[in-house]
Chains A and B, each alone.
Chain A
Amino acid sequence: MRLLPPLLLLPSLLCGCASDTTTLFEVELRGVITYGAEVGPVEVQVHFEEAGEGELNHPLGEIDRFWTALDTPFVFAFDYPQDEGVGLIVYAWYDADDDGVLCAPGQVDEPAGLIVVPGFPLHDVDVDMDVGVRCQGPEDLLP
């Protein structure tokens, strides 16, 4: 764990806010994304399970994202801002037509999947996921 540099606190001091220190929790995500026997690019996103307080509480909240390949083991390290949300969700979609867009109009119906990581917070997270639901963003795949 480490603290953000003091410079990042300056804007909040200028606007008269309370302390806005963020504690970062280091996470290493490992796993494999599969879609049958296919190979190709897959985007993985990591989200909070929930974030925000009071009326501003909401599911999800993207922390980071990266590209990897189907059926290929990956390792991805990221900093989890502990004061901004709880839980961890991993969402992935297979870019079958390699256009960088999930289900562009008139194009291929591409598969996606989502997992809620049990037992979080954990420094080491293992995720193996089969994608299969067509054209769904993370908001549509919440349990």
Chain B
Amino acid sequence: MRSLTPLLLLLALPACTVDPGVEYGSATLPLVDMHLHTGEWEDIPSATRRFLAERFPFPLGLDAEATAASVLTGEGVLAELDKAGAAEGVLFAVYAPRSVGITTNETVIEHIDADPGRLWGLASLRVDRWRTDRDAELAALDAALDHPRMIGVKLAHAHQHFRMDDVDYFGIYDVAQAHNAPVYLHTGPSPFPGTSQDAPYTDPAFLEAAITRYPGVSFILGHLGFDFIHGDEGALETCIRLAKEHDNVFLEPSAFGSSSGDPDQVHLPHALARIREEGLVDRVIYGSDGPQSPGFVNTYAERTIHAMTEAGYSADEARAVLSGNFARVFDVAPAVLP
């Protein structure tokens, strides 16, 4: 099967890159993609590997391992960023052995080294043996955040199987606060096998106890609570309420606006319009949840630009969403066009 790969990629992949920046009306804006994955195919549970392979565009699913390998390395991610005209990207560590698999902090740091001027990382930790491993896991998270390019924490209660309101895990936010590290949290039901779909693991309302207790920690609500099982907006209004009531809440509209999740381009324009109506544009941080498959990072940026245009975002508002809010929240230098 592997020998098919070069031909399949030639058939399916546009090899071109675009100039840095994205066009928004008459403006060219820098783009930062704050939600990207890296890792190894074999570190994903077999049920999830099957799930992913079935969703690669034909014919890439015929050799899913090679397709994944082509986009999941640091170099592969950079190539996908180049196609999208993105200046910078953020790689996520993931520790979810029951659902989406493991990408260690060390792997993320290794891939960041592919271009430390363009790639950042969010660190994470295992929580599945919390009673026995808690202190060691918190220490490992603390150590990972000492790396100058590891600028935040990634959690996914639904994939990692711990309640959003469980105070036994709030030590994670203590570590984040000590490093001034924003915390990205998956919200909403997830399509991956092995996910906890129950409300305490998916509904951002259950995060409010932590959001209130840690006003110095930035909470980034990933996917805006979108319900990927039923294909509806899910907890969007809860996310908006939390952002209106808490200055430390931010919003990340990744994945649900993809061509498969939002084929008629309804959900993403609606979500971005609602956010703008509520005066929360300065809380939105762009992410794609790529690379997923070759070309996805670019396509998601295009669909987000379309959604912002539909929702009436000005060029300055689009600039904030696409890069400015990221720089402010993560306290890094703003991305600039060459």
Contact = CB atoms under 8 A, between A and B. Distances in A.
A101 B162 contact: no
A4 interface: no
A71 B27 CA distance: 67
Interface residues of B, number: 38
A105 B206 contact: yes
A103 B200 CA distance: 8
Interface stretch (A12-20, A27-35, A125-133): A12-20
B45 A140 contact: no
Contacts of B97: 52, 55-58
B50 A16 contact: no
Nearest to B101: A56
Point out which of A11, A20, A59, A104 has the most chain B C-beta atoms below 10 A from its C-beta.
A11
Contacts of A14: 53-54, 61-62, 64
| Contact-size category for A | 20 to 34
B1 interface: yes
Interface stretch (B124-132, B254-262, B311-319): B124-132
A113 to B, nearest CB: 16
Nearest to B98: A58
Contact of A59 (B2, B101, B129): B129
A45 to B, nearest CB: 10
A20 B2 CA distance: 19
Interface stretch (B82-90, B163-171, B295-303): B163-171
Contact of B168 (A16, A140, A142): A140
Interface in B183-233: 194, 196, 198-201, 205-206, 208-209
B28 interface: no
B63 A101 contact: no
Contacts of B62: 14
A17 B46 contact: yes
Given A56-B102, A57-B97, A101-B200, A137 B163 contact: yes
A25 to B, nearest CB: 18
A105 to B, nearest CB: 6
A102 interface: yes
B43 interface: yes
Contacts, number: 82
A12 B50 contact: yes
B161 interface: yes
A11 B194 contact: no
Contacts of A57: 97
Nearest to B130: A139
B64 A15 contact: yes
Nearest to B168: A140
Contacts of B163: 135, 137, 140
A17 B260 CA distance: 25
Given A11-B53, A15-B64, A101 B46 contact: no
Contacts of B166: 137, 140
B49 interface: yes
B131 A101 contact: no
Nearest to B1: A16
A14 B64 CA distance: 8
A51 B1 CA distance: 29
A83 to B, nearest CB: 10
B3 to A, nearest CB: 11
B174 interface: no
B65 interface: yes
A91 B155 CA distance: 25
Contacts of B161: 60, 137, 139
Contact of A105 (B43, B165, B168, B198): B165
Given A15-B65, A137-B196, A140-B168, 10 more contacts: A12-B50, A17-B46, A52-B97, A101-B200, A102-B200, A103-B165, A105-B165, A105-B206, A135-B163, A140-B166
20 contacts: A11-B53, A12-B50, A15-B50, A16-B1, A51-B98, A55-B43, A56-B102, A57-B97, A58-B97, A58-B129, A59-B128, A60-B128, A60-B161, A102-B198, A104-B205, A105-B205, A105-B206, A137-B166, A137-B196, A140-B163
